[in-house]
Structure 1
Amino acid sequence: MDVVQQHDDLLAQRRNHSAWKLLVADNAPLVIGFLDRVFLTPNVRQLPGPELTEALEDHLHPLRGADTAAYPKAAEAYLADWADARNGWLRRFYPTGSDVAHYAPTSAVETAAAFVRSLGRREFLGTASRLLTVRDLLRQITAGAATDPEVRLGALERQRAEIDAQIEAIRSGADTGLDDTAIRERYAQAVTTARELLADLREVEENFRALDRDVRRRATTWDGPRGEFLKTVFGTTAEIGASDQGRSWRAFWEHMLSAAQQDELAELLAAVRSVPALTGAGEQVTQLLREELFVAAEATQRTVASLSAQLRRFLDERSWSEGRRIHEVIRGTLAAALAAHDGDVRGLGSDLAGLRAEFALPLERPLYTPRTETRLESTAAEDPGVDPGGDDALADLLDISHIDLDALRAAVGSTVAAHGGQATLGQVVRAHPLTEGLAELVGYLQVSDDGGLVFPDHRERIGWTDPDGRRRQADVPLVLFGDAPRSPVPSTPDRASTPQPRTAAQESR
């Protein structure tokens, strides 16, 4: 490789690779130490946001006690920085059925933590066991890659000869087994390989998640026929299964689910725990292979199942047809977000129609008022000279108001007698106040038809108090009760002429 090209590639990795950015970060000791203690060492795949925040606060408390100026930001701010896409040390997501944000470390954290652990001085290095492991792997490669059956049979015959020699040495007492150093060396190699396998599973899970995102990206930006999209998706699925990653994962998962493999593993782990040279350390590999490995494998399998579920949703014909418009809007929004993911987002924004949300509360709406049907009847106008009812209409009004006309006639008679034979309507009302209001006043006008005189050009005011205590007044023509008027109208200084009187019945009409 060209020196310049190699230098540029390494420089690009330093700028873009999350593990490299973590190693050169100012707070790398905090990030690696905390995430290793909370996630990697106990093999915890994910944690809810509130629980992780509380754990980080507990982790920061002794650090701040030793140095008050150390790590001044809040725990939530640190988690937000670590989950930022520019760093990529934590993955922030919402599990299905939960509205609480969860966090999980990325494979970059595993890589950086493994590198930091390798920097420490190791007093014991299993060189012999590593060499034997390499030799066994090379034997498997050469025997498995050979297409000639004779080559493969020759490799098996050499293995059989070695096994026969070991059997003979054991029978003769020349082979007494592995010493304690060789046992501990091989056990350390097994533990290291198991830990590396856990880290590899986290990266495998991330690789499958990247494939899932790629399928979703293409589905989001897809605007062609549905058949071509399905063809593309099925082609991608076949590529995933046929890839080295897919084949290796399928073989690993078959071993995990094989009953015979699990029974043999259980027997081996039980025998390892009884080895005297591994007293107190035999449980470590058991926990790694029997517990933590299953948790990691299950999390990876869930990611693969998520990809399948995503494909099934797009295969739903009804969802495809009914939600076409919704998909178009979502695809447009996500396409813009994906376009701005790796670019400069400083100029990205939107205009808001208003800064205040308008709310219409249900109780602010008026209640329903049923409409009453009203019929409009139009009749021809009556001739003004024709009486449209006369005394009968006035009598009907008095009947409705329950006015006793006989009592009104007695009141008029007593007032006329008290005033020497003549009395006006105002004098009658003052002597006998109105108790029924306007209806009683109309009754007096009706009584005046019996012999009273009405002078339309002269007015007088009649007052009374209604049942609510309010004072009422009516401006009516002058009405004179009596047998025969002594003077047409009570004398006033400004009257120039005497008008011709009319009967009360004529005035009421």
Structure 2
Amino acid sequence: MSLRQYSPAWRLLGADNAPLIIGFLESAFLSGNVRRLPAHQIRDLLDDHLEAVRAISLEGAYPKTADAYLADWSDARAGWLRRYYPAGTDVAHYEPTSPVETVAAFVRGLGPREFLGTASRILTVRDLLRQIAGGAGVDPDVRLAALKRQRDELDEQIAAVRAGEDVGLDETAVRERYQQALATARELLGDLRQVEENFRALDRDVRLRATTWNGPRGEFLESVFGTTTEIGDSDQGRSWAAFWAHLLAPKDQAELDELLTVLADIPALSGDSGAIGTVLKTDLFVAAEAAQRTVASLSSQLRRFLDEQTWAEGRLIHASIRNTLTLALAARDQLLKAPGADITSLRADISLPLERPLYTPRAAAELHTVVELPSDTEELDDLEDLLEVTSVDLDHLRNRIHEVVARRAGNATLRQVVDTHPIADGLAELVGYLRIAETEPGTYIDPGHTEQVSWDTDPGATRRATVPLVVFGEADDAEEDEPVTTVRPGGGDS
């Protein structure tokens, strides 16, 4: 009963306009793997969809406007659309929630299916059971027996190919396995949407606790880091970490490129092989980047909470927000009362002139403006070297990054950018790249992984620096250009 009452997916299946909602969200978002749309664009799409549906429906069907329907679907009581403002823009955006993905997949399965891949599924089940039996066993003999069995099967296949007895998969088997791989990849997009919502729920919980927290900050941080540790140690957290590692591994990406190239040359998949490439090379990175942006938002909240100066200056603001939020949470599940207001006080505060303190003159401070310079000329030379600066053109570096990202199909690491365009201005140029990484949209910085970047200084001398793993990606919106930045040079790890 609680699932029927609180589940957005269940409410969507029982909604009066369920065919309209599911059909529109499927065509606008899910079928094209669109993550989000601005308000004006989704409003135009819904107007066109309503016009087409009303033309084949009874008179008076779907009387509301597109804005009214969007407001209903994005209401917290429905939970089918998320309405929010991305960073750096004042235009509202909409994106479907994970329950919509679940309902759409359920509705797709209700229709007749012309092609059912049973053979590939039973082989997938067998391979999974083999991985479990061979990988989960603690007895080395059991694992060796499983590996030897796989080796024997490979030897038999190699012998059959050499003898001309193995002609490979027929067209039916090829299409069957391709459809299963494509369906699994699309299901992965839905899973990533759910992962993003889980991280977003944690972010909302941290914001709520930071706003209403009255105790020591140490206890607050302990509770937050305890929650994040539990998420990281859970099955979902470990699976997400493994997925992200595979997504960024150069070896796996190179193998994926080779496989997609082979698929394009298979006659049985002519015209259809590009769909899975779009999902694996573009859509997965976009969905994973959205989840990482949510994690970055969580880290930003913790940094803001740790800022002592902001905490002190905003104490009154936090108190006001805390009181308002407490009242809102208390009234969220209750019926609204009649409008009205309470008057806190009916008397005026009187301040007499003689109650004010007398003027107290400030004591004059004596300043010594004479600075004695050191007599040693070597110390002066060292001071001049210290004040020496190097100008780095961030726009030029940003153009290099965009060139390498476009060349590498949408993402590139800092080391790949430096390998393509060697560093000429030393550590100052490397610092310029790192500053761009902190502000450039579509960039992910993973402090848990590092890589080495090297550059040549004097003839025969090479500098090396160990930096966090930086992955540059394609940004959704263009950002304003930054001016040329002055960076003080320094030495890297030799």
Does TM, scored on the shorter chain, surpass 0.5? Answer: yes
Q: Deviations over 1:168-211 (max 9, x none)?
A: 11111111111111111100100110110111111111111111
- Measured in 2, the distance between the counterparts of 1:338 and 1:44 equals 33
Task: Name the residue aligned to 2:314.
Answer: 323
The structure with the largest alpha-carbon Rg is 1
Task: Name the residue aligned to 2:180.
Answer: 189
Q: Deviations over 1:217-262 (max 9, x none)?
A: 2222211111111221221221222122211111111111111110
- Measured in 2, the distance between the counterparts of 1:151 and 1:31 equals 52
- Measured in 1, the distance between the counterparts of 2:52 and 2:221 equals 55
1:23-34 matches, cutoff 5 A: 23-34=13-24
Q: Deviations over 1:380-402 (max 9, x none)?
A: xxxxxxxxxxxxxxxxxxxxxxx
DSSP-derived class of the 2:271 partner: coil
1:56-205 matches, cutoff 5 A: 56-67=46-57, 68-205=59-196
| C-alpha RMSD of matched pairs (Å) | 1.5
Counterpart of 1:300 in structure 2: which amino acid? A
- Measured in 1, the distance between the counterparts of 2:308 and 2:119 equals 60
Q: Does 1:19 align with 2:9?
A: yes
Task: Name the residue aligned to 2:41.
Answer: 51
Aligned residues: 342
Q: Deviations over 1:292-349 (max 9, x none)?
A: 11111111111111111111111212112221221121122122223333x1232286
DSSP-derived class of the 2:138 partner: coil
- Measured in 2, the distance between the counterparts of 1:252 and 1:34 equals 31
- Per-residue deviation at 1:291? 1.5
1:449-488 matches, cutoff 5 A: none
Task: Name the residue aligned to 1:275.
Answer: 266
1:400-411 matches, cutoff 5 A: none
How high is the TM-score relative to the length of structure 2? 0.67
- Measured in 2, the distance between the counterparts of 1:101 and 1:345 equals 29
- Per-residue deviation at 1:90? 0.5
Task: Name the residue aligned to 2:334.
Answer: 344
Q: Does 1:304 align with 2:295?
A: yes
Q: Is the 1:220–1:335 contact (alpha carbons within 8 Å) kept by the matching residues of 2?
A: no
Task: Name the residue aligned to 1:333.
Answer: 324
- Measured in 2, the distance between the counterparts of 1:340 and 1:138 equals 52
Counterpart of 1:51 in structure 2: which amino acid? Q
Using a 3 Å threshold, how does the CA distance of structure 1 residues 215 and 14 change in structure 2: closer, same or farther?
A: same
Q: Does 1:231 align with 2:215?
A: no
- Per-residue deviation at 1:19? 0.7
- Measured in 2, the distance between the counterparts of 1:304 and 1:350 equals 41
Counterpart of 2:110 in structure 1: which amino acid? L
- Measured in 2, the distance between the counterparts of 1:184 and 1:20 equals 34
1:232-251 matches, cutoff 5 A: 232-251=223-242
Residue in structure 2 matching 1:206, options 197, 204, 207: 197
How high is the TM-score relative to the length of structure 1? 0.65
- Measured in 1, the distance between the counterparts of 2:127 and 2:30 equals 30
1:392-403 matches, cutoff 5 A: none
DSSP-derived class of the 1:91 partner: strand
Q: Deviations over 1:423-457 (max 9, x none)?
A: xxxxxxxxxxxxxxxxxxxxxxxxxxxxxxxxxxx
Q: Is the 1:95–1:102 contact (alpha carbons within 8 Å) kept by the matching residues of 2?
A: yes
Q: Is the 1:93–1:101 contact (alpha carbons within 8 Å) kept by the matching residues of 2?
A: yes
Residue in structure 2 matching 1:284, options 275, 279, 301: 275
- Measured in 2, the distance between the counterparts of 1:178 and 1:149 equals 34
**Percent identity between the aligned chains?**
64
DSSP-derived class of the 1:25 partner: coil
DSSP-derived class of the 1:302 partner: helix
Counterpart of 1:340 in structure 2: which amino acid? A
DSSP-derived class of the 1:92 partner: strand
Using a 3 Å threshold, how does the CA distance of structure 1 residues 168 and 82 change in structure 2: closer, same or farther?
A: same
- Per-residue deviation at 1:12? 2.2
- Measured in 2, the distance between the counterparts of 1:141 and 1:91 equals 39
Task: Name the residue aligned to 2:386.
Answer: none
